[in-house]
Amino acid sequence: MHNPRPGLPEFDYVRPASLSEASRFLAEHQGEARPFMGGTDTFVRMRDGFWKEKYIVDVKRLDGMGDITFDPSTGLTIGAAVNMNRVIDSPEVQEHYPLLAEAAKTVASFQLRSRATIVGNICNASPAGDTIGACIVMGGVLKVHGLDGEREVPLTGFFVGPGKTVLKPGDIVTAIRFPVLPQGHAGRYIKLGRNALSDLAIVGVTAFAYPDDTPSGYRFKLALASVAPVPLVPEKAEEILTGKPITDETIAEAAQAAMDACNPIDDVRGSARYRKYMVRNLTRRAVTDVLNRLQ
Ligand SMILES: Cc1cc2nc3c(=O)[nH]c(=O)nc-3n(C[C@H](O)[C@H](O)[C@H](O)COP(=O)(O)OP(=O)(O)OC[C@H]3O[C@@H](n4cnc5c(N)ncnc54)[C@H](O)[C@@H]3O)c2cc1C
């Protein structure tokens, strides 16, 4: 009989002395080794028998992975191993990137957030990841160490399917970097879950805007969670909000465009049809909240 709680399988815990050693090890053991941060996805997937890695590679203590730094001229860098509670508590995040703290606060519980990381949320590449939308709309760029050294990878185009990204064997994300945000920006993340704690989003809507020289007076960015195989940017809805004067009709039109862009599935958390309608309703609400915050 299938045992739904099989317990963790045996694995070797590997702690390389440098990023180069870690990248080499991961590339040499492709398919049987994986880096981890908080382990809140990794150990659950291993316990439930979906992942059968022989080696779990701990890179958390290497080269600035635990640092969070802000420079007023270049922006914010969050090391891959910084847990979500540290992000939420960071005065720089609260002052300059409050949307990130707002999104991180919707992830499960305080206990889980003391392990879970933003970079783990991104690399896990679930379309339901609650912090991914904030990272996309604020122009997050991943710093990656691979076999050929360091490179930067923007989040646009990073996700290729559920659990799949453009990362290559040996790649380790060391940090996520955000540019200095435009003056007067405001954001909002609305998560619809089945309960307040420890549930993934049925639908998540991120809205972000800042004053700009456009027909609406603003540049709008949107991202949707749990409504497509990857985190979704509804570009047409963004264009409507940026390209026309803001009225109730414009907001309704953009919300409809966001709904039309979705391609959700039916699952235990909600039907595809329900998800689509909730995208329309929550986009309208998130955009209205952002406009109120902008003013
Ligand atoms: C009870 C429970 C409730 C949850 N609730 C939510 C929720 O409400 N919202 C939500 O979004 N998520 C939720 N999750 C999922 C999970 O907690 C998040 O996705 C979390 O952010 C993962 O971060 P981590 O540091 O634990 O990742 P890990 O488990 O360490 O890693 C996740 C994946 O990313 C890869 N990875 C990690 N770090 C790197 C790196 N530096 N470079 C390359 N690849 C890397 C790993 O190999 C693995 O594939 C929940 C999980 C549990 C167990």
- Residue 120 CB–ligand 1 contact under 6 Å: yes
39 C-alpha to ligand 1 centroid (Å)? 6
Count of CB atoms within 10 A of residue 150's CB?
10
Could you tell me which of 226, 227, 224 has the C-alpha nearest to residue 201? 226
pLDDT digits (tens, 9 = 90+) for 239-273: 999 999 999 999 999 999 999 999 998 888 889 99
pLDDT digits (tens, 9 = 90+) for 228-237: 999 999 999 9
Beta bridge partners of residue 205, listed in sequence order? 190, 224
Note the residue count of the chain: 295
Angle at CA of residue 194, ends 188 and 197, nearest 5° = 75
- Residue 216 CB–ligand 1 contact under 6 Å: no
pLDDT digits (tens, 9 = 90+) for 173-203: 999 999 999 999 999 999 998 876 668 899 9
pLDDT digits (tens, 9 = 90+) for 119-135: 999 999 999 999 999 99
Alpha-helical runs (H) found in 97-217: 98-104, 110-113, 118-124, 132-137
- Residue 79 CB–ligand 1 contact under 6 Å: no
Structural domains in the chain, sorted by start: 12-58 (3.30.43.10), 68-178 (3.30.465.10), 188-294 (3.30.390.50)
For residues 6 and 48, what is the distance between their CA atoms, to the nearest angstrom?
6
163 C-alpha to ligand 1 centroid (Å)? 11
For residue 97, how far is the Cα from the chain centroid? 14
118 C-alpha to ligand 1 centroid (Å)? 8
Q: What is the pTM of this model?
A: 0.96
Residue 241 DSSP code: H
What are φ and ψ of residue 280, in 5° steps? -60, -50
For residues 104 and 91, what is the distance between their CA atoms, to the nearest angstrom?
15
pLDDT of residue 197: 67
- Residue 107 CB–ligand 1 contact under 6 Å: yes
129 C-alpha to ligand 1 centroid (Å)? 9
